[in-house]
Amino acid sequence: MPSLQQRLQESLAPLARPRHAQWDPLGLMAVRGLLKERLGAFGAPREHCFEGNGARGVNLILQLPGRQPHLAPLLVGAHYDGPPQSPGADDNATGVAVLLELARLWHATPPRRPLWLVAFDQEEEGLRGSRALAAQLRADRQPLHLMVSLEMLGFTSPHQRYPLDAMRWLYGSSGTFLALVANLSALPLLPGLALRLGRHVPTKVLPIPFRGRPLPDTRRADHSPFWDHGYNALMATDTAFLRNPHYHRPTDTLATLDLAFLTAACEGLHAALDPL
């Protein structure tokens, strides 16, 4: 049986290709079809269609039962579109590969609470997919225990930048950790999540007040619409452009990824989220 790292690598290969709603719609359609097939091995993914600014998009939602179905669901998502003119290996093929692996693990052994596994469309076009779904869930009065956005999980560097220089004194100068960026309502969940995740990969936590408005860089992923609609939400990330020099460039390729780090992040996320 392939190892976890081998499975992640096999998942990454067909995902890391140009796939942008405007620049490469055929690539985006191909990846969407692949995800429907891969998620379909674990259930029947539902298409959540949305429109905005003359464009149509499709989120894919796989709902898995938990052992206690009356509990509010855990929503874990990753965007499957990529930046213009880039294969988007870290951004965000890594998040999607981990999402698929979590689907496999949780399908085999259901956790305590129900799961919504979501592949978001058009994150690169202004978070359109997550905005549409967060608004729909709030309108439907759908409770969520926590929303987790998997946003770039596979790059390490000896150098790390921050939105504020003072943060270097708290978090260090080496880009070898996974960050959990959460709103204050999710704060009670952070110690347990960080402890379990930290057994697998170095972990830093950043609680953000006021829906991330004081630090706009913390809002640039699919968790922020859920912040805006009052849900507990966090982003798990390798810090993107604050670490990765290939961000939104043609050089964001599989060869630049730290697969051992990605594997540890996947193991850690499963261990951290499973007991919620």
SS3 content of the chain, % helix, strand, coil (to 5): 40, 20, 40
> Under DSSP, is residue 106 helix (H, G, I), strand (E, B) or coil?
helix
* pLDDT tens figures, 179-238: 999 999 999 999 999 999 999 999 999 999 999 999 999 999 999 999 999 999 999 999
Cβ neighbours of residue 142 closer than 8 Å, sequence gap 6 or more:
none
Give the DSSP H or E segment for 27: helix 25-40
Mean pLDDT of 117-143: 97
Structural domains in the chain plus CATH codes: 4-273 (3.40.630.10)
Place of tokens 């097939």: 37
Place of tokens 């952070």: 190
Question: Cα separation of 168 and 52, whole Å?
Answer: 39
Mean pLDDT of 74-81: 98
Tokens linked to 143: 């409770």
Is a pLDDT exceeding 90 seen at residue 43?
A: yes
DSSP bridge pairs for 199: none
Distance of alpha carbon 104 from the chain centroid? 16
